[in-house]
Amino acid sequence: MGRAGIPILGYHWMPASVWRSGQLKIRGGSDATSWDNDSDEQAPIGPINIPEHYDTSKENMWECLEYWIKAITPVAEAAGIRLGIHPDDPPVPELMGVARLLGSFDAYKRLTSIVDSPSNAIEFCQGTFSEMPGEDIYEMIKYFAERKKVLYVHFRNVSARVPKFNEEFINTGYVDMKLAMETYNAAGYDGAFMDDHCPLLVNDADFPGNWGGFRSRIFAQGYIQAMLEAVTGKRPE
């Protein structure tokens, strides 16, 4: 990757993958994925293959993650690559008996303190950070952006925090997206913003991976560009 000039690798620490508990109708009859801690329809998005002999306890998974960070960070530094880890989606303590580590502000502070390096950073999925119970999304943006730990942003919105939420259009969730963008800007963040987990519009073509449609993503991309120009006062060159 370093020799190819690719500066960032995004990855995750979710052996049990991303989960949802069904879909519901939101604005304009669009379909959106949802999560409910009490639902009996909870299921992973995509296949899972975890051998039975694996130790998926919280303690062992943290030990493995810390080993990985300490081992790979110097390699990434030498190659000129920065590594960004995605939060657990949904941010719940466990699924299928498999621990979920990265579902809180404190967990990410712990992660970034394992090795103090620009190469040990965050794939900042704002939607998932917004799902974290009891956390302030704007405080987390400010804290990690000021410390140059945000490599790129999944700029999306959700209806609420865990225990129950659904995906939303970028301008109809509970997060004030203009305030979020202003917070990134004030903290000195100058990286990329991208669409993510968009609702599926009626009669739209489904995006590969079942995270919304093409027209829905185009809407989100236009919103992001307009928000960037409104907040920064800069237009694309």
In 136-229, at which residue ranges do the beta strands (DSSP E only) sit? Answer: 150-154, 157-158, 164-168, 192-194
Q: Which stretches does DSSP call E strand in the chain?
A: 8-12, 19-20, 23-25, 31-36, 43-44, 82-86, 94-95, 98-99, 120-125, 150-154, 157-158, 164-168, 192-194
Which residue type occupies 69?
I
CA angle (89 as vertex; 86, 95 as ends), nearest 5 = 120
Show Cβ contacts of residue 162 under 8 Å, excluding neighbours closer than 6 positions.
35, 37, 90, 91, 92, 131, 132, 133
Condensed to tens digits (0 to 9), the pLDDT of residues 86-113 reads 999 999 999 999 999 999 999 999 999 9
Sheet holding 31-36, edge to edge: 23-25, 31-36, 164-168, 157-158
Confidence of residue 49 (pLDDT cuts 50, 70, 90): confident
Identify the pLDDT of residue 206. Answer: 77
Task: Evaluate if pTM is beyond 0.75.
Answer: yes
- For the chain, the C-alpha Rg in angstroms (whole number) is 18
**DSSP-derived secondary structure for 153-173:** EE--EESS-TTEEEEE-TTTS
User: Would you kindly state where each structural domain of the chain is located, as residue ranges?
Assistant: 8-232
Q: Supply the CATH classification number for the domain 8-232.
A: 3.20.20.150
Amino acid at 208: P
pLDDT value, residue 137: 98
Confidence of residue 211 (pLDDT cuts 50, 70, 90): confident
Confidence tier at 212 by pLDDT (50, 70, 90): confident
Cβ proximity of 227 and 195 under 8 Å: no
